[in-house]
Amino acid sequence: MRQSYKLIFERSHEGRRAYDLPALDVPAVDAIPANMKNEAKLDLPELGEVDLVRHYTNLSRRNFGVDNGFYPLGSCTMKYNPKINEEVAGMFEDMHPLLDEDMSQGALRMMYDLEGYLAEICGMDAFTLQPAAGAHGELAGLMLIRAYHEKRGDTERTTIIVPDAAHGTNPASAVMAGFKVKEIKSAPDGGVDLDALREAVGPDTAGLMLTNPSTLGLFERNIKQIASIVHEAGGLLYYDGANLNAIMGIVRPGDMGFDVMHINLHKTFSTPHGGGGPGSGPVGFKKHLAPFMPVPVLVEREGMIELDYDRPDTIGKVKMFYGNFAVCVRAFAYIRSLGGKGLREASENAVLNANYIKNAMRGVFDIPHDRICMHECIVTPTEEMMEKGVHTTDVAKALIDRGYHPPTIYFPLIVHEAMMIEPTESESRETLDEFIEAMKEIASEALTAPESVKACPKNTPIGRPDETTAARKPIVRYVKPE
Amino acid sequence: MKSYVPNTEKERREMLEAIGLKSMDDLFSDIPEDLKLDRELDLPAPMSEMELRELMMGYVLQNDEGGLLFRGAGAYRHYIPSVVPQLAARSEFYTAYTPYQAEMSQGMLQSIFEWQTVICNLTGMEASNASVYDGATAASEAILMMRDSKRKSKVLYSAGLNPDVITTIKTYAHCYGIELVEIPLNKDGITDMAALEANLPESAGFIAAQPNYFGCIENMDAISEAVHAQKALLVSYVNPISLGAVKRPGDYGADIAIGDAQPMGLPLNFGGPYVGFMATGGKLVRNLPGRIAGETTDAEGGRAYVLTLQAREQHIRRDKASSNICSNQMLCAIMSTIYACTMGPEGMREVAEQNIAKAHYLADEICKIPGMKLRYATAFFNEFVIDTETPAGQINEALKDMGIVGGLILPDGGMLWCATEMNSKEDIDFLTDMLKNIVEGGMEQ
Amino acid sequence: MVPNDRKYTREHDWVKIEDGIAILGITDHAQEALGDIVYVELPELDSDIAIGDNYTTVESVKAASPVDSPVAGRVVEVNEALDEQPELLNEDAYGQFIAKIEFAEINEDALLTAEEYEQLLAEEE
């Protein structure tokens, strides 16, 4: 199985080419001043088209996507990415973003309608599609909170409270938005510790960031108390939408008391993640935050959708143009395909599938919080496995050998040796059963032949990589040998 | 209606039974009853794939995007070879998540490594990250790099940056508590060196644009010398398509090269997704935001790629991270990589030279029209500003009727025109004939 | 063994005072908790450090640990060998300093003796 693979730069042969262009039909000009010319030949590969196509086709075969198999990566909602959505997204690809509004009504109308759908799904008053990813949405949402307090002259509110179970982006986004971060410890069940929260809030509280269902995959039962503690202290409530896939059509962040939130369209709304992006992180908010939303704002006037830049209290722009538009088209297509009924069905089955797996893990792995979970569950290796030296990493690598993408591992940080399994609604019962069987096999092998588990993966192009050397002596680009 | 849930009603009931529950509602017993939505979501009815296609076509038909495009201003139409979309459509790439498990993600990790190499070689820098959202957010992240490495909170930027980039960095700088100072352009449409030199002391650095928003080629040698004389950092915002003909940032000593790689293989897509790039060298590598792929070996000594230098990132350093970025624009970066590798060194040069030639032909032809003249007497790449006696709005309205998207109207009434290898001589001649008619028609009135 | 020629902080750092110079490093326990150290962000020479400032950050593959200074003063020397070989801290945490600070002020109250530090380690076990 082991097989290294040449870089495209190592396939280069001087003089080969894969491109052609029409002959220049206007006079060539020598316009660039001598000191600003690039006279040297760029160091890019030269190869024929077929070799280039084979290089990338074979590279893709060294990768694993949802289309290849089960991908229960917790907190990432790796659901199926419908093919029709890819096709319809292409319908808009030749549109320049700076077309006059009367030339781009279809695209603007679609964005406007999508904002409305997202507001209904989340119980928010309005949405902006501008942020390019979840973390970018967090940043924009926090900027709204900051602008809200600033506008009221409430300049002492400089602290964002973040539970220790939160995604790392939460505290990082808060700092980028200019806040201080106060981390609070979670209760034993992974929920917010109400006493710790009461202790933490004060006149410096700008807001609380919360994921619900929590990063442990459990619904925050005290959400109403949490909302009132934060609101009574004068803070706002931020909803991290990473786990929205559990609750569509069942309960809405706006109804829970959240003031502002982001969605990851590349999680809940089925847009493909592209191996790391592009995502899309629309931000929803209640009326009191609307004056601060990023420009441009889509408004309907006399049947036309316009881009309104005249918003005196806006936080400004957070990105070029209007967001990752083609990603939004895919999410739009998903919502229109499923409707309200279909979205609820998706959430119900996501939660059903997660509970089905969790139930089957009893007695196989440890389940730190064994109650009804939402769309994902957390399991850990048992004491006996760890005594044999088999840890979460090893279980993950053993899953790879069995053709599965492993769950999210070592997150949330508050659960030691966590494996966070999120099956999504896309998976059939037999896929879940086969995965459960694989987990059982690994669990038993961990006790009977731990060395074999620790030697995984064996069926992959590379073995476990040396990350220490990679970080000590970073090589981050190819340099031709002398 | 469409459903992507494979399990049948019967299977769902059996699964519920297996976990000891009676109904789907039992799964949600943790949620307080009074919070639950007591109705179905108020959304349009579900539909079949065929109906969806018709619906989307309905939206498309409300657009009127014109046939001939002479507009750029931050988003450029270039020829995209067929291999680019075809290869990027490999679903092993596009349906994958971030390559957290290196052993089953070598395809993506190696692609990132190749992208980083392409960006480094195009810009003449030592290290690149795996991408950021777009050019504007690249500039915003570069401001943080400058502040953190120089420990100074004043940053200068050129008035020749794209206005969307300027408004975006203002949004970010307000949050960072960074003072931004705009360095104006002179009458030739390039950086006012006296203003730059006057503001450099006590600044962390300067963000310049090459070519700038108005298409003009800046004297980056002089800018670099001035910036470095004050021990400040030079960030160069470049159009990567220009680098086949225009000197690379590394060659004039830029400390950070940034920009948007949309012109390399990405469709216009009404503004996104595009892909921001960031490249640097030396100690600044440790300040780069976001993901970076690195080469290493596996246990058996084979070559392998991993995400590296992760201790900078949010999932480890949380509130002390160099940035909050998590998802980036990976698939777009792969498309730009495939574009650059398809074009190769000769193709990149030829595209750049064709852009220069087409834009100059367009400018020459427009300048033959009475009442229209080039604003700046400075070398330009594929864009230029025309001042016109006939109101620009009137010109563009008339062009629109002929299926032509004219130059972008600037706030001061000038027009920012763009030509690329996609605009044939015939199209340019058609445009300029139309312009003549419009101007003459205007005079007759 | 914890050397008794120096003082310790509760955050597993050590400080050794010699002629008005505070020599700073991390303890063996700290390097072990971090695992393979891949990078040490050294402070700038001549920079001024206040008590409680992060004067360095020590990174492993999966963690980054900011280290607070127990003294205030000016950085007069940094251990440049760590630039190329951060693993030296793994090999000999007590033999490798990170920075030397000519100090004006020191937070004695927060410092532990070797004995007290050993006790702390025992409690944390």
- The answer to whether residues A216 and A148 belong to one domain is yes
Parent domain of A277? 83-337
Between CA B254 and CA B221 the distance in angstroms is: 9
Token digits of residue C16: 């050794």
User: Is residue C2 in a domain?
Assistant: no
- The answer to whether residues A279 and A368 belong to one domain is no
Strand A159-163: give its sheet, edge to edge. Answer: A126-128, A283-285, A260-263, A236-241, A205-211, A159-163, A180-184
Spell out the domain ranges in chain B. Answer: 68-77+344-444, 83-339
Read off the pLDDT of each residue in B378-396 and give the average, rounded to a whole number: 97
DSSP letter at A192?
Answer: B
- Comparing CA positions, the residue from B115, B351, B281 lying closest to residue A9 is B115
Give the DSSP letter string of A442-477: HHHHHHH-HHHHHT---SSSS-SB-HHHHHHS---S
User: Is residue A50 in a domain?
Assistant: no
- The answer to whether residues A373 and A428 belong to one domain is yes
Residues B171, B197: contact at Cβ < 8 Å? Answer: no
Residue B389 touches partner A, C-beta closer than 8 Å: no
- The answer to whether residues A271 and A359 belong to one domain is no
Domain with C85 in it: what CATH number? 2.40.50.100
Q: How many CB atoms lie within 10 A of CB B444?
A: 6
ipTM passes above 0.90: yes
Contacts of B316 in chain C (CB under 8 A): 62-64
Contacts of A471 in chain C (CB under 8 A): 38-39, 59, 61
Contact B285 A474 (CB under 8 A): yes
- The answer to whether residues A231 and A347 belong to one domain is no
Q: How many CB atoms lie within 10 A of CB B415?
A: 23
User: Is residue A36 in a domain?
Assistant: no
Query: What chains are in contact with B, requiring at least 3 Cβ pairs below 8 Å?
Result: A, C
- State how far residue C87 is from chain B, nearest Cα, in angstroms: 15
Query: A130 versus B316: which is more confidently predicted?
Result: A130
- State how far residue C116 is from chain A, nearest Cα, in angstroms: 28
Task: Please write the tens of the pLDDT for every residue from A70-122.
Answer: 999 999 999 999 999 999 999 999 999 999 999 999 999 999 999 999 999 99
Report the residue of chain B nearest A316, measured CA to CA. Answer: B171
Q: How far is CA A354 from CA A225, A270, A378, B28, in A?
A: 27, 18, 10, 13
Contact C39 A468 (CB under 8 A): no
User: Is residue A308 in a domain?
Assistant: yes
Domain with A306 in it: what CATH number? 3.40.640.10
User: Is residue C120 in a domain?
Assistant: yes
Token digits of residue C94: 């007590």
pLDDT band at B445 (very low <50, low <70, confident <90, very high): very low
Q: Helices B425-444 and B330-367, interaxial angle, to 10°?
A: 50
Which of A300, A321, A337 terminates a domain? The answer is A337
Token digits of residue B53: 């296609």
User: Is residue C37 in a domain?
Assistant: yes
- State how far residue C20 is from chain A, nearest Cα, in angstroms: 34
Q: Do domains B68-77+344-444 and B83-339 have the same CATH topology?
A: no
Read off the pLDDT of each residue in B144-166 and give the average, rounded to a whole number: 95
- The answer to whether residues A261 and A369 belong to one domain is no
Contact B310 C66 (CB under 8 A): no
The three-class DSSP label of residue A148 is helix
Give chain A's domain count: 2
Per-chain mean pLDDT for chain A = 96
Read off the pLDDT of each residue in A238-266 and give the average, rounded to a whole number: 97
Contact B316 C63 (CB under 8 A): yes
In this prediction, residue B442 carries a pLDDT of: 65
Token digits of residue B239: 């159009």
Query: A188 versus A13: which is more confidently predicted?
Result: A13
CATH code given to domain B68-77+344-444: 3.90.1150.10
User: Is residue A124 in a domain?
Assistant: yes
Task: Please write the tens of the pLDDT for every residue from B404-438.
Answer: 999 999 999 999 999 999 999 999 999 999 999 99
- The answer to whether residues A91 and A146 belong to one domain is yes
Q: Helices A429-448 and A325-361, interaxial angle, to 10°?
A: 60
User: Is residue C1 in a domain?
Assistant: no
Query: What chains are in contact with C, requiring at least 3 Cβ pairs below 8 Å?
Result: A, B
Nearest to B351 among A21, A104, A117 (CB): A21
Could you please state the CATH topology (level 3) that the domain comprising B83-339 is classified under.
Aspartate Aminotransferase; domain 2 (3.40.640)
Contacts of C36 in chain A (CB under 8 A): 468, 472
Contacts for A148 with CB less than 8 Å, ≥ 6 apart? A236, A288, A289, A292
pLDDT band at A132 (very low <50, low <70, confident <90, very high): very high
Q: How many CB atoms lie within 10 A of CB C92?
A: 11
In this prediction, residue B312 carries a pLDDT of: 78
pLDDT band at B319 (very low <50, low <70, confident <90, very high): confident
- State how far residue A121 is from chain B, nearest Cα, in angstroms: 6
Between CA A16 and CA C109 the distance in angstroms is: 71
Enter the pTM of the model. Answer: 0.96
Parent domain of C16? 7-124
- The answer to whether residues A361 and A274 belong to one domain is no
